């Protein structure tokens, strides 16, 4: 796994994934974020990397920027090994409460968390096909599990991740024959802007686990829904 593309790379879990991959001398990371010029931490990670980290602009809802990001990758390599769709939002709890459901909040969340990963996968598929084991990793959430939905609230976020899981299964069926392994992985509850301070997991541990799972993926994992520690999650 030498060429890896990560969205939402300027903070949180995405930044830590890039930092850990950057420690590997033979690895090239395409670290996508909305505003590279103000992504100081990511730029610092890129400058300290033993491998190569390209910081590239990507607002995931912008098709022109998706196309430009793909062109950027293609100018460096003919084959992408891993696409990590990590960027996401989780709007304020109050805006997702039953009684306060706002269609704009729902649709905006679905656009970023569900539609964009699919469009990015669609744009990058030829580069992934050219790898000997291309992988599409959709960073999902336990909150996307319908089987475990025994609590209320978080309508936009939970629906977006359940729909991302469904798209992952579709991608697994469409692309598995071409040798691309498609999975949804929950990073755990992690101390980030999204996860908050009470989260039990540090970013380092989550990212290390995610990368271990991603590295050990085989074709039999195509269509799986896993946790950061490799355990399966119920749909």
Ligand X SMILES: NC(=O)c1ccc[n+]([C@@H]2O[C@H](COP(=O)([O-])OP(=O)(O)OC[C@H]3O[C@@H](n4cnc5c(N)ncnc54)[C@H](OP(=O)(O)O)[C@@H]3O)[C@@H](O)[C@H]2O)c1
- Counting every residue written for the chain, the total comes to 235
Q: Do the beta carbons of residue 21 and residue 27 sit within 8 Å?
A: yes
- Count of Cβ atoms closer than 10 Å to residue 110 Cβ: 17
| Contacts to ligand X from residues 82-101, by CB under 6 A | 86-89
Instruction: State the nearest-atom distance from the C-beta of 133 to ligand X, in Å.
Output: 23
Q: Within the chain, how many helices (H) and strands (E) appear?
A: 7, 7
**Cα–Cα distance measured from residue 180 to residue 221, given in angstroms and rounded to the nearest whole number:** 10
Q: At what angle do helices 63-74 and 116-129 cross, to 10 degrees?
A: 20
**Cα–Cα distance measured from residue 118 to residue 111, given in angstroms and rounded to the nearest whole number:** 10
Show the binding pattern over residues 162-201: x = contacts ligand X (CB under 6 A), - = does not. ------------------------xx-xx-xxxx---x--
**Cα–Cα distance measured from residue 5 to residue 136, given in angstroms and rounded to the nearest whole number:** 10
Stretch that binds ligand X, among 5-13, 19-27, 97-105, 211-219 (CB under 6 A): 5-13
Between residues 2 and 142, which has the closer beta carbon with respect to ligand X? 142
Instruction: State the nearest-atom distance from the C-beta of 76 to ligand X, in Å.
Output: 21
Nearest-CB residue for ligand X: 12
Q: Do the beta carbons of residue 40 and residue 153 sit within 8 Å?
A: no
**Cα–Cα distance measured from residue 190 to residue 205, given in angstroms and rounded to the nearest whole number:** 9
Instruction: State the nearest-atom distance from the C-beta of 230 to ligand X, in Å.
Output: 16
Q: How far does the chain reach from its first CA to its final CA, in angstroms? A: 28
Q: Does the footprint of ligand X cover residue 59 (CB under 6 A)? A: yes
Instruction: State the nearest-atom distance from the C-beta of 155 to ligand X, in Å.
Output: 15
Show the binding pattern over residues 99-138: x = contacts ligand X (CB under 6 A), - = does not. -------------x--------------------------
Contact residues for ligand X, defined by CB under 6 A: 7-8, 10-14, 33-34, 58-61, 86-89, 112, 139, 141, 186-187, 189-190, 192-195, 199
């Amino acid at each position: 796994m030498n060429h890896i593309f990560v969205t939402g790379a300027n903070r949180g879990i995405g930044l830590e994934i890039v930092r850990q991959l950057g420690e590997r001398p033979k690895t090239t990371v395409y670290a996508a974020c909305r505003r590279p010029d103000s992504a100081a931490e990511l730029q610092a990670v890129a400058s300290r990397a033993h491998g190569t980290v390209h910081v590239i602009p990507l607002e995931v809802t912008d098709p022109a920027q998706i196309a430009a990001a793909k062109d950027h990758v293609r100018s460096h390599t003919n084959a992408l090994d891993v696409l990590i769709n990590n960027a996401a939002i989780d709007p304020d709890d109050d805006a997702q409460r039953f009684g306060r459901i706002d269609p704009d909040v729902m649709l905006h969340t679905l656009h970023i968390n569900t539609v964009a990963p699919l469009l990015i996968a669609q744009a990058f598929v030829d580069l992934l096909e050219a790898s000997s084991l291309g992988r599409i990793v959709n960073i999902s959430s336990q909150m996307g599990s319908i089987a475990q939905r025994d609590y209320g609230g978080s309508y936009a976020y939970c629906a977006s991740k359940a729909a991302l899981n469904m798209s992952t299964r579709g991608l697994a069926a469409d692309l598995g024959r071409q040798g691309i392994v498609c999975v949804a992985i929950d990073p755990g509850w992690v101390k980030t802007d999204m996860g908050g301070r009470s989260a039990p997991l540090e970013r380092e541990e989550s990212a290390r686990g995610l990368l271990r799972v991603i590295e050990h993926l085989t074709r039999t994992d195509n269509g799986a829904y896993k946790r950061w520690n490799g355990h399966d999650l119920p749909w």
